[in-house]
């Protein structure tokens, strides 16, 4: 079982549900996914961590244009170049990703399904690492990959909804996807990864512990020990610093 | 938009400009300064700056709320990447309710603003009314969805 932050390691007590949700996120990371094997998913996570140390990524962030044509990424070398480019850009400079960049990445050989799953893995790893860094503890060791083949499952309802990638329509979460959200009651950020439904399930579970359960997000009276305004102040500042319009 | 709505629901008035201005700004939210400085240090700061912000926030809110702040920041480090990497547009109701917030914070300067079509004439005309009704609409929507007010379930 992958390790989790425990009260013994952290300088402050970590809620049991939070530690459990993080441990389950690491377990999901290690398991075969929809388009990537367990070994490839762990390699994606390792590459996302490497992006923090990538010199060209640092220089690109400072450059006027994200299309800056500097040196190649400082990669761990375990994944195809198109995947490495996507991982580093999503991890290190997400606010300047564009449709043109996405189309170029797709043309370089990274298909929509694998891309969506990759985004889910990178975003999870960045989130887990940010939490650890916030607390001042070492990041979780990456888990040992589990054997098995990717399912290659693509939900039949997914279609072009105006984003870079196909998504399940708001009223389309039915059948095998009925657990993703109640019919018509969702938000684009929840649908964003729905081309790979298991990534939505992972997102919901970890977000419920880090922030709020999805069904409570719209209720402005819902909160934790922090008031909702305090939670939203942190959320908004993090989003602004990442230059996220959404 | 959720900051404004939650602040109004609590009978207070958060100053939205603090989101753009950062930790030195007055936010109108209790312990807002330490929360903003911690978020900034976590996203952009070096280890030393983060250590200072961590100490300040711990002293201001105590260990349990400090962990919650780190978790919320970590959650949004995730959500921004999902939103920007998939190119999703703003949901139309959020775009309408939050149009003035976007203008106040000049969110159109962000590259990912290109993913959301500009609001049409009708939406722009209805925006002032929607803003006045915003908190009530959110309250209604939450009730319609069966959300329970109060603290989220915790271990």
- The confidence band for B97, taking pLDDT boundaries of 50, 70 and 90, is confident
Q: What pLDDT is attached to residue B123?
A: 67
Mean pLDDT of B74-80: 97
Give the alpha-carbon dihedral of A66, A70, A72, A74, to 10 degrees.
Answer: -80
- Which residue from A120, A220, A246 is facing B2, i.e. has the nearest CB? A220
- Mean pLDDT, to the nearest integer, of B54-76? 97
How confident is the prediction for chain B on average, in pLDDT?
80
Closest CA to A29 of A50, A47, A43: A43
* Sign of the CA dihedral with A63 first, then A69, A74, and A77 last: positive
Q: What is the pLDDT of residues A54-90, one digit of tens each?
A: 999 988 888 777 776 677 899 999 999 999 999 999 9
Residues spanned by the domain of B85: 2-154
**Taking CB atoms and an 8 Å cutoff, what residues of chain B touch A90?**
81, 84-85
Interval A20-41 mean pLDDT: 98
Q: Which residues of B touch A196 (CB under 8 A)?
A: none
Which distant-in-sequence residues (6+ apart) come within 8 Å of A218 by Cβ? Answer: B138, B141, B142, B145, B147
Residue B140 is predicted with a pLDDT of: 58
**Residue A127: alpha-carbon gap to chain centroid:** 7
Query: Which two tokens mark A105?
Result: 């990445």
Interchain CB contact of B139 with A (< 8 Å): yes
**Do residues A243 and A95 lie in contact, with contact meaning Cβ atoms separated by under 8 Å?**
yes
Which of B75, B84, B141 lies nearest to residue A97, judging by beta carbons? B84
Residue B147: is its pLDDT beyond 60? no
**The token pair that represents B30 in the structure block:** 């209790």
What does the pLDDT read at residue B7?
A: 73
Indicate yes or no: CB of B79 within 8 angstroms of CB of A221. Answer: no
Calculate the CA B39 to chain-centre distance: 12
pLDDT tens-digit map of A124-162: 999 999 999 999 999 999 999 999 999 999 999 999 999
Mean pLDDT for B43-70 is 96
When CB atoms are compared, the residue of A95, A212, A222 closest to B84 is A95
Mark residue A203 as left, alpha or beta (left: phi above 0; alpha: psi -120 to 50; beta: remaining).
alpha
Q: Does A234 touch chain B (CB under 8 A)?
A: yes
Looking at the structure of chain B, the number of domains it has is 1
Lowest mean pLDDT among A71-80, A92-101, B88-97: B88-97
Torsions phi, psi of A82, nearest 5?
Answer: -65, -40
pLDDT band at B135 (very low <50, low <70, confident <90, very high): low
The stretch A87-115 carries a mean pLDDT of: 96
């Amino acid at each position: 079982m992958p390790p989790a932050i425990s009260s013994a390691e952290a300088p402050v007590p970590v809620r049991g549900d939070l530690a459990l949700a993080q441990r389950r996120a690491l377990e999901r990371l290690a398991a075969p996914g929809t388009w990537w094997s367990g070994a490839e998913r762990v390699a994606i996570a390792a590459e996302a961590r490497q992006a923090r140390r990538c010199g060209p990524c640092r220089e690109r962030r400072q450059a006027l244009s994200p299309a800056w044509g500097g040196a190649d990424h400082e990669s761990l070398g375990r994944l195809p170049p198109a995947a490495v480019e996507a991982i580093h850009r999503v991890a290190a400079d997400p606010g300047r990703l564009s449709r043109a960049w996405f189309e170029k990445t797709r043309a370089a050989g990274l298909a929509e399904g694998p891309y969506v799953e990759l985004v889910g893995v990178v975003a999870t790893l960045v989130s887990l690492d940010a939490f650890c860094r916030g607390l001042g503890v070492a990041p979780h060791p990456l888990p040992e990959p589990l054997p098995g083949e990717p399912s290659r499952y693509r939900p039949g309802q997914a279609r072009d909804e105006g984003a870079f990638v196909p998504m399940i329509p708001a009223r389309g979460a039915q059948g095998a996807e009925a657990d993703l959200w109640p019919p018509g009651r969702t938000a684009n950020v929840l649908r964003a990864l729905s081309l790979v439904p298991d990534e939505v399930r992972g997102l919901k579970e970890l977000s419920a512990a880090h922030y709020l359960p999805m069904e409570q997000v719209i209720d402005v009276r819902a909160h934790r020990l922090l008031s909702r305004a305090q939670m939203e102040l942190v959320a908004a500042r993090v989003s602004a610093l990442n230059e996220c319009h959404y | 938009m959720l900051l404004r709505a939650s602040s109004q629901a609590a009978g207070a008035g958060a100053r939205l400009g603090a989101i753009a201005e950062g930790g030195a700004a007055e936010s109108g939210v209790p312990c807002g300064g330490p929360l903003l400085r911690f978020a900034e240090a976590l996203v952009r700061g070096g280890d030393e700056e983060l250590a200072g912000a961590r100490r300040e926030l711990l002293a201001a809110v105590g260990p349990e709320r400090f962990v919650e702040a780190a978790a919320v920041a970590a959650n949004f480090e995730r959500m921004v990447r999902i939103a920007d990497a998939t190119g999703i547009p703003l949901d139309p109701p959020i775009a309408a309710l939050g149009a003035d917030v976007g203008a106040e914070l000049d969110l159109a300067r962000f590259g990912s603003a290109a993913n959301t079509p500009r609001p049409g004439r009708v939406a722009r005309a209805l925006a002032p009314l929607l803003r006045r009704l915003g908190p009530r609409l959110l309250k209604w929507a939450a009730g319609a969805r069966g959300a329970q007010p109060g603290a989220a379930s915790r271990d």
